[in-house]
Amino acid sequence: MEYNHLQEIAIIGLRNRLLLLHHISELFCPCIPMFDLEGRLGGTGHGVSVGFDTLRGILISQGKIKAEMLYMEKPVIIYPYSLDQVKRSRSKGGLAGPDGTKSVFGQMCAKMSSFSPDSLLLPHRVWKVKFVGESVDDCGGGYSESIAEMCEELQNGLTPLLIVTPNGRDESGANRDCFLLNPAAKSPLHISMFRFLGVLLGIAIRTGSPLSLYLAEPVWKQLAGMNLTIADLSEVDKDFIPGLMYIRDNEASAEEFEAMPLPFTVPSACGQEVQLSSKHSHISLENRSEYVRLAVNYRLHEFDEQVSAVREGMARVVPVPLLSLFTGYELETMVCGSPDIPLHLLKSVATYKGVEPTAPLIQWFWEVMESFSNTERSLFLRFVWGRTRLPRTIADFRGRDFVVQVLDKYNPPDHFLPESYTCFFLLKLPRYSCKLVLEEKLKYAIHFCKSIDTDDYARIALSGEPAADDSSDDSDNEDADSFASDSTQDYLTGH
């Protein structure tokens, strides 16, 4: 049995206790607005919010999420989108710079200092974006694409903030495809970037727009205000603790320890050797217990500075003390949604234009979607909505329907690709002759049509005519020549 402590309790008793927990959650939720949580980073302040972590295992998940949402529904001043406008270069071809400052993430981070605090509290999107070379009037699609682009940059090495887990480097153990915060990224620039990462996490929670970030569970635990344990270290570095135990329990003599000079250092999560003590240069029989204690302590706290910066950024958008109510897994779900893309949820918000939901074309479409792998479904969402994950629930869609419309202007339809309008969560399908053609065209579109582009801009580029939207100020165009051939530029309008 998974929960051994419960096996002696009658089912009726468990049911009554669960009802009681639900009732406690229902009573707690309306009380949230009574707490003064502004400006506190849970665990560092004083007052009633300090004890929130004691409720983490008591309150029901949905009750905790409802409490968070209720607190964030406090009235805020809504600003228009067009107070500030700057020009930036979208990163392509590895031209993000040594610290990622020319990546989309780096450019947005630099811009964030000019955003007013209230501007980050908007319920749907915080900025408008235009990628030059991709004709799009940002009604939401450009914004979503910028978020997806930043998540991609964080995890493909264009920025220095995230590192693959030690298990991932060694190709062994669990969490090989997950990332940790980089403990070596601690310059003032890096810390400001971590704060902006926190802002992105907070925006995802506030707007219900999930991020495609694959952070290891220990990261989410720390962001929720929980302390790491030895078990957490083993989750991301399976050889670390066994290696320490070997040193601690080794029956070698003092002379044998001296014969194998082991440095008094510990490998950090990013693989750098860190000196643990100025008193000892090597591990000996006498100091090995101290070495193990210091090594474990270092690895448990090596991310503290980076976690603190991320939480500072989150505090600009959401009440961070309330995060103490959540487990790491619950926080990850709030920020990232589920990595699985449930088609029943997408179907529940689907509407149709110019075609009945029972038409063969629509039936073929859903059958193709059913056959897609989760990765392909993620690519489809990126193509049609500029995102890679679905919100958690129907309510989190905030009234945004997924619209499927028939495209009748092309003949013969089998020669043309589907079209998407990410600003409107809209997919236009030609009237394909069979399911096989639909599958072929849709797969091509989601794999190779990632840019937000239209025939209008393509025509201008091919004819050599100047683009009307490209007459931009050169005052903020460092290294413009190096970007001219293969990169785009964006206009980020903050407020």
- The string of pLDDT tens digits covering residues 116-175 is 677 677 666 667 776 655 555 545 556 777 888 899 999 998 999 999 999 999 988 888
423 catalytically annotated: yes
Q: How far apart are CA 100 and CA 152, in angstroms?
A: 12
Residues 6+ apart with CB under 8 A from 472: 87, 132, 489, 491
What is the pLDDT confidence band of residue 436, given thresholds at 50, 70 and 90? very high
3 state SS of 119: helix
Query: What is the overall mean pLDDT for the chain?
Result: 79
Please state the length of the chain: 495
Strand stretches in 308-437, DSSP E: 350-353, 402-407, 419-421, 426-430
Report how far apart the first and last C-alpha atoms of the chain are (Å, whole number): 54
Of these ranges, 18-27, 232-241, 484-493, the one predicted with the greatest mean pLDDT is 232-241
Looking at residue 57, what is its pLDDT?
73
* Predicted confidence (pLDDT) at residue 98 exceeds the cutoff of 60: yes
What domains are there in the chain, each with its CATH number? Answer: 4-72 (no CATH), 86-227+303-336 (3.90.1750.10), 233-293 (no CATH), 343-454 (3.30.2410.10)
Q: Which of 48-52, 109-113, 209-213 bottoms out in mean pLDDT, i.e. has the lowest?
A: 48-52
How does pLDDT run across 64-81, given as a tens digit for each residue? 665 565 555 554 444 444
Peptide bond into 267 cis (omega under 30): no
Lowest mean pLDDT among 29-38, 95-104, 381-390: 29-38
For the cut 50, the answer to whether the pLDDT of residue 476 exceeds it is no
Is the model's pLDDT at 204 over the cut of 50? Answer: yes
Catalytic residue chosen out of the listed positions 109, 178, 336, 423: 423
Residue ranges of alpha helices (H) inside 251-373 are 254-259, 288-301, 304-315, 328-336, 343-348, 360-371
Report pLDDT for 387. Answer: 76
Query: In this prediction, what percent of the chain has a pLDDT beyond 90?
Result: 41
Of the pLDDT bands very low, low, confident and very high (cuts 50, 70, 90), residue 486 is very low
Candidate from 248-252, 376-380, 463-467 with smallest mean pLDDT = 463-467
- pLDDT for 209 equals 82
In 3D, which of 61, 73, 63 has the Cα closest to residue 331? 61
Per-residue pLDDT for 483 more than 70?
no
Q: What's the CA gap between 362 and 234, in Å, rounded?
A: 47
How far, in Å, CA of 378 to CA of 372, rounded? 9
Q: Does residue 164 sit in helix, strand or coil?
A: strand
For residues 369 and 384, give the distance between their C-alpha atoms in angstroms, rounded to a whole number: 13
Kindly give the pairing relationship between strand 273-275 and strand 265-267.
antiparallel
pLDDT at 18 over 70: yes
pLDDT of 332 over the 50 cut:
yes
Lowest mean pLDDT among 4-13, 86-95, 211-220, 246-255: 86-95
Q: Is the Cβ–Cβ distance between 162 and 153 less than 8 Å?
A: no
DSSP code, position 181: E
Q: What strand order describes the sheet that includes 488-493?
A: 86-90, 488-493, 128-131
* Strand ordering across the sheet containing 426-430: 350-353, 402-407, 426-430, 419-421
Confidence band for 113, pLDDT divided at 50, 70 and 90: confident
What is the C-alpha separation between 211 and 222, in angstroms, rounded? 18
Nearest to 196 by CA among 149, 142, 131, 150: 150
In degrees, rounded to 5, the angle at the alpha carbon of residue 165 between the alpha carbons of residues 162 and 169 is 110
Contact criterion met (CB below 8 Å) for 151 and 103: no
